Amino acid sequence: MDLLFDSVASAFVLLWSFDRELLEIVLVSLNVSFFATLIASIVGIPGGFVIAYSTFPGKRLVLTCLNTLLALPTVVIGLLVYSFISRKGLFGSFDLLYTQKAIIIGQVILIVPVIMTLTIAAVSRIDDRYRMTALTLGADIYQMAWVVLREARYGILAAVIAAFGRVIAEVGISMMLGGNAKGFTRTMTTAMALEYDKGEFVLAVALGITLMSLAFLINMLFHFFQGRTESEAV
Amino acid sequence: MKLYKLENIKRIHGNRTVLDIEDLEIAAGKIYTLIGPNGAGKTTLLKILSFLDSPSQGRMHFMGEEVLCGEKHLYGFRKRVVLLDQSPIMFTGSVWKNIEFGLKVRNIREDEKGRRIREVLDLVGMARFKDYNARGLSGGETKRIALARALVLQPEVLLCDEPTANVDAENQEIILDIIEQINKEQKTSVIFSTHYLSQGQRLADHSLLLQRGSLSEMANENIFRITVAGYEGDKTLCQLTGQLIIKIPKEALPLDKSFAKVHIDPYLLTFEPGCEKRTDGNVVRGHVTDISQESGSVRLGVDVGVKMVLIFPMEQYLLEKPSLGQKLNIFIPDQALGFSSFESSLSSSRK
C-alpha cells in the first residue's frame, strides 16, 4: 500500500514540476493520437454514412466484417503493418518503421472500424424524414448528407471520442511500430510499460494520472459543447 | 397543360404491390385531393409525384418531360416541387434557419432571402416566431412553419400529405386557407391527401380516390348527376339520375347546377334499421344486392332506386349481418355529399 501512496505522491510532485521528459511523452502521445483520430475520422465518418445510407449486395457481410474488426488485437495490426513497412516489406523503402507515422498508420487501421460502426449506428438512428425533408427542399445528396450528419453529430462526436480513447490507451501498435524511442516515439502507454519493467513506478503513475485526466477533460468538453449546441437556439 | 402523366405505374415493396395506377393525368394550376383509407397508397403516390421515390415500373411525365430514374435526373425535378410531410420534422436551429434552408441550397441572394422569409412568415401568421427554436413549437405551429419552409421556395407544385392531420380546428382552417390562397394568387398546383371528404369539397377542383394502391372504380359508383326537382324550406330537392330524390342544403349546391354531380362518400353511409326521420341528412330505403369483403371492411351494394355502395368496418357488419335481399334504411349524412367533378381525373383510370 505504501508503494502506491508513495508513487502517487511522487507522481504529483513530478507533474507539478512540469518534468521535461514527462511533457515530451505526453506531447508525442497526443500528437500521434490526434492525427490518427483525424485521419480515421476523415475516412470513417463518410464511409459509415455511405454504408448506412446505401443498399448493395453484401452489405450485411460488410457490417459483420466491420464488427469483427472491432475486436482486432493491436499486436495483430502491429504485425501486419510491420510486414509492410519493415526493411524487407512492400513499403520498406519509405523508412517508416519506428517513426510516429508508423504508429499513426497502425492506429488508423485500429480505429477506422470503430468510427465507421459507431457512425453507422448514429446515422441509422436518425429519422428518415430528415433525409426526405432535405431532398424535397432541393438539397443535393451532399447537402442532404450534411443535414443528416449534423443531426447525428452527438453520436458521431461520441464515435470520435471513443476512437481517440482507444488510440491514446493502446500499447501494442506503439510498441511494435514505434519502438519506444525516447523523445521520438515514446508514448504514455509504452513509457508506462517500460517503467513497470524497470520497477520505477513514479513516472508510470504520473503518466497514468495524466491519461485519466485527459479522458476526464475530453468528456467534460464533450458535455460542454453538447449543452451549448442544444441551447444555441432560443 | 398536363402537370403529371402517369402510365402503368407500379410501386412494389418486396412481393407486395403498394401502388398500381394504369393511367392518370393531373392538370396544372388546380387543387387535387387524394382521398382514401390508411394504407391505400396515398403517401407512396405523393412520394413518387415529388420525385423522392421512383416507381418500380411504368412511365411518368412531368410538364411534358419524361421522368427518368437516377439521382441526377430526379434532383432537377425535385427543385420544382415540394412535399409537405404528414408529420413534418424541423432541423436543429431556429425557425428562420429552417425556412432559410431551401433558399440556401439554391444560392439565393441574402437580401432576397430575407424578403422572402419575412413574406412567408407573415403569410402563415408566424412572424413573431422567427427566432424561436423550431423544435419547441406545437404540432399546429410546426405544420405552419413547415408550410412556410415549402412556400418560400415558390414551387410549381405543392404536395401535402394530410396537412391537417393531428392539428386543432383553428390551425386546420389556417392551413387550408393558405393552400387555397397560394393556388389562387400564385397559380401553384396543389395535391393533398386527406381523410376528410369535406376538405375535398371545399377546396379541390378534382378528387382522386385511392384504394389498395389503385385509383378506385368505386369513386364512380356513388357519383350521380343531379337535377333540381324543387325546394322545401332551406333544402333543395334533387333527383339523382332521375330515380331518387334527396334533400340537399341549398348553400351546399354549386352555383352552376347544369354540370352538378354529387359524390356520396361510401365510408360515411350507415344503415340503421330503426332510423326514419333525420334533419342532418337523408334516409333512403333499399335492398341489399351485393356483399363483399375487402381488407377489414365490408362493401355493401344497395339498390335504393339507384345502385349505392356503403363501406363500413367488419365489426359493424358482424353486429347487424345484413343479408342479400334484406331491406334496409340507409342514412346519408349531409357531410357525405360532395360536389366535385371526378370525371376528368378518373375517366382516364377506368379499365
Give Cβ neighbours of residue A94 (< 8 Å, ≥ 6 apart).
A85
Per-residue pLDDT, B18: 92
CB pairs under 8 A between A and B: 65
DSSP symbol at B322: -
Following CA atoms A157, A160, A166, A172 in sequence, which dihedral angle do they give, to the nearest 10 degrees? 180
pLDDT above 70 covers what percent of chain A?
94
Q: Is the pTM of this model over 0.95?
A: no
* Nearest-angstrom CA–CA distance, A22 and A169: 16
Whether the Cβ atoms of residue B27 and residue B4 lie closer than 8 Å to each other? no
Q: Dihedrals φ, ψ of B267, to 5°?
A: -75, -20
Per-residue pLDDT, B115: 97
Q: What are the percentages of helix, strand and coil residues in chain B, rounded to 5?
A: 30, 35, 30
Per-residue pLDDT, B207: 77
Residue contact B83–A132, C-beta within 8 A: yes
* Nearest-angstrom CA–CA distance, B252 and B224: 16
Nearest-CB residue to A137 (from B75, B93, B105): B105
Extract the C-alpha cell encoding A55. 443498399
pLDDT band at B65 (very low <50, low <70, confident <90, very high): very high
* Nearest-angstrom CA–CA distance, A144 and A110: 29
Pick from B123, B121, B191: which is nearest to B156 by CA?
B191
Per-residue pLDDT, A73: 94
Chain A positions touching B47 (Cβ under 8 A) are 132
Residue contact B92–A150, C-beta within 8 A: yes
DSSP string, B201-236: HHH-SEEEEEETTEE-THHHHTEEEEEEEEEETTEE
Smallest CA–CA separation between A53 and chain B, in Å? Answer: 14
* Nearest-angstrom CA–CA distance, A55 and B240: 54
| B350, pLDDT greater than 60 | no
Each domain of chain B, given as residue ranges in start order, spans 2-215, 218-347
pLDDT in tens, B118-140: 999 999 999 999 999 999 999 88
Chain B positions touching A132 (Cβ under 8 A) are 47, 52, 83, 85
Sheet holding B327-333, edge to edge: B270-271, B327-333, B281-294, B297-303, B307-313
| Domains of chain A with CATH codes | 30-200 (1.10.3720.10)
**Coil/strand/helix, residue B318:** helix
Pick from B217, B222, B301, B306: which is nearest to B262 by CA?
B222
pLDDT band at B100 (very low <50, low <70, confident <90, very high): very high
Chain B positions touching A143 (Cβ under 8 A) are 105
CB atoms within 10 A of CB B49: 24
Per-residue pLDDT, B349: 36
Chain Cα centroid distance, residue B270:
22
**Mean pLDDT, rounded, for B107-124:** 96
Q: Searching chain A, which residue's CA lies closest to the CA of residue B153? A: A137
* Nearest-angstrom CA–CA distance, B287 and A31: 87
Chain A positions touching B135 (Cβ under 8 A) are 233
Residue contact A233–B89, C-beta within 8 A: no
* Nearest-angstrom CA–CA distance, A219 and B189: 52
Q: Dihedrals φ, ψ of B240, to 5°?
A: -90, 120
Q: Which residues of B164-199 are buried (b: 16+ CB within 10 A; e: fewer)?
A: beebeeebbebbbebbeebbeeeebbbbbbbebbeb
pLDDT in tens, B154-200: 999 999 999 988 888 888 888 989 999 999 999 999 999 987 666 76
Per-residue pLDDT, B225: 76
Q: Are strands B307-313 and B297-303 parallel, antiparallel or unpaired?
A: antiparallel
Following CA atoms B194, B199, B205, B210 in sequence, which dihedral angle do they give, to the nearest 10 degrees? 30
Mean pLDDT of chain A: 90
CB atoms within 10 A of CB A216: 10
**Mean pLDDT, rounded, for B327-341:** 80
Give Cβ neighbours of residue B14 (< 8 Å, ≥ 6 apart).
none
Q: Which residues of B205-228 are buried (b: 16+ CB within 10 A; e: fewer)?
A: bbbbbbbbbbbbebbebbbbebee
pLDDT in tens, B192-249: 998 766 676 677 788 787 877 887 644 556 878 777 788 888 888 888 876 788 888 8
Extract the C-alpha cell encoding B14. 418486396
| A233, pLDDT greater than 50 | no
Smallest CA–CA separation between A106 and chain B, in Å? Answer: 37
Per-residue pLDDT, B221: 65
Residue contact A136–B83, C-beta within 8 A: yes
Q: What is the CA radius of gyration of chain B?
A: 22
Smallest CA–CA separation between B100 and chain A, in Å? Answer: 10
Degrees (nearest 5) of the Cα angle B89, B90, B94? 170
Nearest-CB residue to B133 (from A132, A147, A233): A233
B13 in reach of chain A (CB within 8 A): no
DSSP string, B10-66: EEEETTEEEEEEEEEEEETT-EEEEE--TTSSHHHHHHHHTTSS--SEEEEEETTEE
Per-residue pLDDT, B273: 64
* Nearest-angstrom CA–CA distance, B84 and B178: 13
Per-residue pLDDT, B259: 55
pLDDT band at B11 (very low <50, low <70, confident <90, very high): very high
Any idea which architecture B218-347 has in CATH?
A: Beta Barrel (2.40)
Domain B2-215 has CATH 3.50.50.60: no
Residue contact A136–B133, C-beta within 8 A: no
Chain B positions touching A227 (Cβ under 8 A) are none
Residue contact B79–A133, C-beta within 8 A: no
* Nearest-angstrom CA–CA distance, B220 and B205: 16
Smallest CA–CA separation between A220 and chain B, in Å? Answer: 23
ipTM of the complex: 0.78
B278 in reach of chain A (CB within 8 A): no
Smallest CA–CA separation between A42 and chain B, in Å? Answer: 23
| A75, pLDDT greater than 60 | yes
Pick from A1, A8, A6: which is nearest to A207 by CA?
A8
pLDDT band at B338 (very low <50, low <70, confident <90, very high): confident
Residue contact A136–B87, C-beta within 8 A: no
Residue contact A150–B71, C-beta within 8 A: no
Smallest CA–CA separation between A231 and chain B, in Å? Answer: 9
Residue contact B89–A139, C-beta within 8 A: no
B79 in reach of chain A (CB within 8 A): yes
pLDDT above 70 covers what percent of chain B?
89
| Per-range mean pLDDT, top range of A27-41, B57-71, B231-245, B290-304 | A27-41
DSSP symbol at B67: P
Residue contact B153–A138, C-beta within 8 A: yes
Residue contact A234–B133, C-beta within 8 A: yes
Chain B positions touching A141 (Cβ under 8 A) are 71, 75
pLDDT in tens, B293-306: 766 678 888 988 88
Nearest-CB residue to A234 (from B50, B132, B149): B132
Whether the Cβ atoms of residue A132 and residue B150 lie closer than 8 Å to each other? no
* Nearest-angstrom CA–CA distance, B66 and B77: 10
* Nearest-angstrom CA–CA distance, B77 and B75: 6
